[in-house]
A and B are shown apart, each in its own frame.
Chain A
């Protein structure tokens, strides 16, 4: 590879949705060379960085500090840095005595199940709508897209009554994880994303697989899914984050405290929990999503940009 090649690769347009790179902005090289512009813009950038650190990281740093600060110090001097030492017991008490460990496990279990149902519905549904295309596909597609325009509040009460008395099951799904898992699959957003991605796959590959004797199941499992890893990643991130954030619906259908996720339990335990221990519990609940985000930044940010593109 010549040096010219390398520069060409470096300049190659990356995925625009990542939001991290731009070719040419509203400030030109000439503008940058002017001292006043250079100084003003750079000052603005520093101010912005300081503000972003204070606003974006500040609350989380405070929370991390409170998680290991004695309650007395949190109340008396909320901004002092460990005036009377560190109290690691906050975290241990939150994890064991307040049973955050159990609610943590519930949260992960709920997220895993929702992730599976959402991925199952979106991949098989997208496969039917984009690749198999039966005659009735257009009607189904229209009905799926129509639900995008119905605010979720309309579903709240009738969905709750459906969970109390579901068809064919014969018993109430209240206090059953399926009451959270199954409705999460009815996400038109996922289906639309998946269908659009499948639409962009080259048809020649499908035809080649067909000539090689692949049936619809084989085509789905061995050709379409392996080609769709990027979109599977995006939908997976969406699904697990949405489930981690969910509050109202799990609160309504999981009435047994032993089954509730963190988001539902945290407000409930606030009143009878020591402040330091409670803030430690909040810190534990924040840790996983933040670590996840820092590891899979690109996936998160491209997903967020994509979200805007599809909504638009």
Chain B
């Protein structure tokens, strides 16, 4: 019955019972028996779903992506080792600088537009005294709309003709019509606007949860010192949100660096590669209609992207921990 005992003794007991692997057949059989009686078998049965699903559909593919980035694979002939060829091919692809520039531009715009909006919204909602739930539900509602539906709906709103929905609205105040999705300068902000609409609600909820964690005594103390509302916000509320803000900041960068759905469904990377992103390139290498099938190049680029994001996160957390302590 060691199965259910407290962790340290249970673990020790099972290590002991699983140990006797050496010795004659008799000893081995007794070892297996004690292992089964000690609960080793049932533990393994419980672990099987996790081990199989993670093994086949997560751990093995991760290892395989590293292997494949050094191979030429085309599903017909057996894979061939090609060294750094895939990386060289990707790094000299004339589209890569464009894709990197577009992805950085998307990430930057998403920060400028998308980072302050949820924060201001959450801070305002937290001071609402009646119908707070209504505010929260309204803010979260766009997150519930399936992303594909959201993009297709906005694509219709962005119709470039004077009769398009947004152009009609702006027409009332004498603006436009704008070619939202075919104008070279407008297309990326249009994509970011939709992406922000679709994602902001989730961040609002995270901030609201963090705002509740601010201890009320701190506000009391600030008031005793004669602080006004702005000073309370600046000296009490924001410092308390700092940790959460650091995290949503890097999470948003990691997410926007992998933007795929918006450029894929809105524009397919056009006009003139203006919305070609790194992820769209990876997709085109592997599954694109004209190119396609270049699995080596696709895995090489996705590994480089993952390595870049990992490095960025490490540097970021080093920096932010230094800022927090100083």
Residues of A within 8 A of B (CB): 16-28, 30-31, 37, 41, 44-45, 48-49, 52-53, 55-57, 59-60, 62-63, 75-79, 117, 120-121, 124-125, 127-128, 131-135, 137, 140, 143-144, 147, 149-162, 164, 166-167, 182-183, 185-186, 188, 191, 203, 206-207, 209-210, 215-217, 219-220, 241, 244-245, 247-248, 252, 262-264, 266-267, 270, 275, 279, 282, 285-286, 289-290, 292-294, 297, 300-301, 304-305, 307-309, 311-312
B50 interface neighbour in A44, A125, A216, Cβ under 8 Å: A125
In the complex the two chains form, what is the Cα distance from A120 to B53 in whole Å? 10
Known: A135-B18, A155-B61, A266-B149. A78 touches B286 (CB 8 A): no
Q: List 27 A-B contacts (CB under 8 A).
A: A26-B126, A28-B220, A59-B154, A76-B163, A78-B164, A132-B46, A134-B43, A140-B47, A140-B51, A153-B279, A154-B65, A158-B62, A158-B65, A162-B57, A164-B75, A182-B57, A185-B57, A207-B5, A210-B1, A216-B3, A220-B46, A248-B261, A270-B152, A289-B145, A301-B205, A307-B202, A308-B209
- Does B306 lie at the interface of the complex (its beta carbon under 8 Å from any beta carbon of A)? yes
Could you tell me the distance in whole angstroms from the C-beta of A200 to the nearest C-beta in chain B? 14
- Does B186 lie at the interface of the complex (its beta carbon under 8 Å from any beta carbon of A)? no
In the complex the two chains form, what is the Cα distance from A241 to B236 in whole Å? 36
Task: Give residues 281-323 of B contacting A (CB, 8 Å).
Answer: 282-283, 286-287, 295, 298-299, 302-303, 305-306, 309-310
In the complex the two chains form, what is the Cα distance from A48 to B295 in whole Å? 48
Give the residues in chain B near A22, CB-CB below 8 Å. Answer: 126, 211-212
Give the residues in chain A near B51, CB-CB below 8 Å. Answer: 140
A157 interface neighbour in B65, B145, B206, B251, Cβ under 8 Å: B65
Residues of B within 8 A of A (CB): 1, 3-7, 10-11, 14-15, 18, 39-40, 42-44, 46-51, 53-54, 56-62, 64-65, 68, 73, 75, 121, 123-128, 132-149, 152-154, 156-157, 163-165, 168-169, 197, 201-202, 205-206, 208-214, 216, 219-220, 223, 229, 232-233, 236-237, 243-244, 247-248, 251, 254, 258, 260-261, 265, 279, 282-283, 286-287, 295, 298-299, 302-303, 305-306, 309-310
Could you tell me the distance in whole angstroms from the C-beta of B114 to the nearest C-beta in chain A? 13
Could you tell me the distance in whole angstroms from the C-beta of A80 to the nearest C-beta in chain B? 10
Could you tell me the distance in whole angstroms from the C-beta of A278 to the nearest C-beta in chain B? 8
Give the residues in chain A near B54, CB-CB below 8 Å. Answer: 121, 143-144, 147, 186
What are the 10 closest A-B residue pairs judged by CB atoms, nearest first?
A: A24-B216, A308-B206, A125-B50, A305-B209, A19-B208, A158-B61, A186-B58, A210-B4, A158-B64, A52-B138
Contact B43 A128, beta carbon cutoff 8 Å? yes
A304 interface neighbour in B168, B205, B233, Cβ under 8 Å: B205
Known: A26-B229, A140-B47, A263-B146. A134 touches B302 (CB 8 A): no
Give the residues in chain A near B219, CB-CB below 8 Å. Answer: 24-26, 28
Contact B258 A153, beta carbon cutoff 8 Å? yes
Give the residues in chain B near A289, CB-CB below 8 Å. Answer: 144-146
Q: B68: nearest residue on chain A (CB-CB)?
A: A158
Q: B298: nearest residue on chain A (CB-CB)?
A: A157
Give the residues in chain B near A48, CB-CB below 8 Å. Answer: 121, 124-125, 135
| Total A-B pairs, Cβ < 8 A | 321
Could you tell me the distance in whole angstroms from the C-beta of A59 to the nearest C-beta in chain B? 6
Known: A20-B133, A182-B53, A186-B58. A55 touches B197 (CB 8 A): yes
A59 interface neighbour in B157, B216, B220, Cβ under 8 Å: B157
A266 interface neighbour in B73, B148, B202, B303, Cβ under 8 Å: B148
Among B149, B229, B261, B287, chain A packs the most CB atoms within 10 A around the CB of B149
In the complex the two chains form, what is the Cα distance from A282 to B265 in whole Å? 15
Could you tell me the distance in whole angstroms from the C-beta of B131 to the nearest C-beta in chain A? 8
A216 interface neighbour in B39, B73, B232, B244, Cβ under 8 Å: B39
Give the residues in chain B near A144, CB-CB below 8 Å. Answer: 50, 54
Contact B212 A19, beta carbon cutoff 8 Å? yes
In the complex the two chains form, what is the Cα distance from A56 to B201 in whole Å? 9
Contact A132 B205, beta carbon cutoff 8 Å? no
Could you tell me the distance in whole angstroms from the C-beta of A91 to the nearest C-beta in chain B? 15
Contact A161 B73, beta carbon cutoff 8 Å? yes
Interface of A is mostly: helix
Contact B132 A21, beta carbon cutoff 8 Å? yes
Contact B141 A293, beta carbon cutoff 8 Å? yes
Could you tell me the distance in whole angstroms from the C-beta of A188 to the nearest C-beta in chain B? 8
In the complex the two chains form, what is the Cα distance from A297 to B229 in whole Å? 31
Give the residues in chain B near A308, CB-CB below 8 Å. Answer: 205-206, 209-210, 244, 247-248
Contact B57 A37, beta carbon cutoff 8 Å? no
Known: A48-B135, A156-B302. A267 touches B265 (CB 8 A): yes
Give the residues in chain A near B121, CB-CB below 8 Å. Answer: 48, 52
A155 interface neighbour in B65, B205, B247, Cβ under 8 Å: B65
Give the residues in chain A near B254, CB-CB below 8 Å. Answer: 151
Among A26, A31, A48, A286, chain B packs the most CB atoms within 10 A around the CB of A26
Give the residues in chain B near A20, CB-CB below 8 Å. Answer: 132-133, 136, 208
Contact B216 A151, beta carbon cutoff 8 Å? no
Give the residues in chain A near B18, CB-CB below 8 Å. Answer: 135
Give the residues in chain A near B206, CB-CB below 8 Å. Answer: 304-305, 307-308
Known: A121-B53, A153-B306, A164-B75. A27 touches B229 (CB 8 A): yes
